[in-house]
Chain A
Amino acid sequence: MNAAQDNLRIERKFFGLRPGLEELQEEFAAALRRFGYDEAAAFAIRLAIEEAVVNAHRHGNKGDAAKCVHFRSSISPKQIDIEVIDEGAGFDPGAVPDPTREENLDIPSGRGVMLMHAYMTDVEYIAPGNHLRMSYLKRA
């Protein structure tokens, strides 16, 4: 792989979710194979992208197809960086109830954010909370 191929950037703007999100996922999966990521990585990243973009559209933009979800990513042989930015007012990730607490197990919210934290190496929401930045480091 020469220097020009060491880093691939994929960028999208979503005003609705489908079928654009599936097309992005297919392009991403092909890129991950090309950069030598294994199936566990592909599963993790597909899930994180799904949760991030759906959350941004549904919760951030309140499902408004006139508003944009901006997806930016960089794929290299060792690391994947993803940013998802919506046009909403943001939220306090610390205020999301822990979905694994016994009293919260059967409520619907918080699980998407939790799964992103579990599967990605690093996840952070930049204030006011409408800008998600996450990364995945390839395992040695």
Chain B
Amino acid sequence: MPVSLLQIRRVEGAIRVDFVEKNILDEGNLHQIEQEIRTAIDAEKHPRVLICFKNVEHMSSAALGTLLALKDSIEKKGGELRLSSIDRRIYEMFVITKLNRLFSIHESVEQAAASFTTK
């Protein structure tokens, strides 16, 4: 069993995900990250997922693809995905690729948590 790359916990009825690694790049790591989050999602009827990027310094287009796949799975279950605390340079990657239009992105975890519409 590989060492977890994430800290996943329940906070006020939502699944809160924090990254342990500061670089979210490697495909092997991305696959593991995706599986860890999917395991948490699978246990929920309507998953509310908040991914905090506070510790993340570098990302790749492969990581953006993983986030899109997770968003799709969460929404197919009637759940919601929120992203928060994204470094301004990484946020620029979302703007360049126009993915800031697809994701619900918030400055803080508190704002992200307050934005869930389902209870």
Asked whether A106 lies within 8 Å of B60 as measured between CB atoms, the reply is no
How many chain-B residues does the 8 Å CB contact rule pick out? 20
Q: Which of A50, A58, A115, A118 contacts B25 (CB 8 A)?
A: A50
Once bound together, how far apart are the Cα atoms of A106 and B72, in whole Å?
A: 9
Once bound together, how far apart are the Cα atoms of A106 and B70, in whole Å?
A: 11
The verdict on B45 contacting chain A, using a C-beta distance below 8 Å, is: no
Q: Which of B26, B58, B64, B101 contacts A46 (CB 8 A)?
A: B58
The verdict on B89 contacting chain A, using a C-beta distance below 8 Å, is: yes
Q: Contacts A43-B58, A54-B60: A115 and B97 contacting too (C-beta < 8 A)? A: yes
Q: Which residues of B are in contact with A by a Cβ distance under 8 Å?
A: 25-28, 58, 60-62, 64-65, 68, 72, 89, 93, 96-99, 101-102
Listed by A's residue number, 22 A-B pairs whose Cβ atoms lie within 8 Å are A17-B26, A18-B26, A40-B89, A46-B58, A47-B58, A50-B25, A50-B60, A51-B61, A54-B60, A99-B97, A100-B97, A105-B101, A106-B68, A108-B65, A108-B68, A111-B61, A111-B64, A112-B62, A114-B61, A115-B96, A115-B97, A118-B96
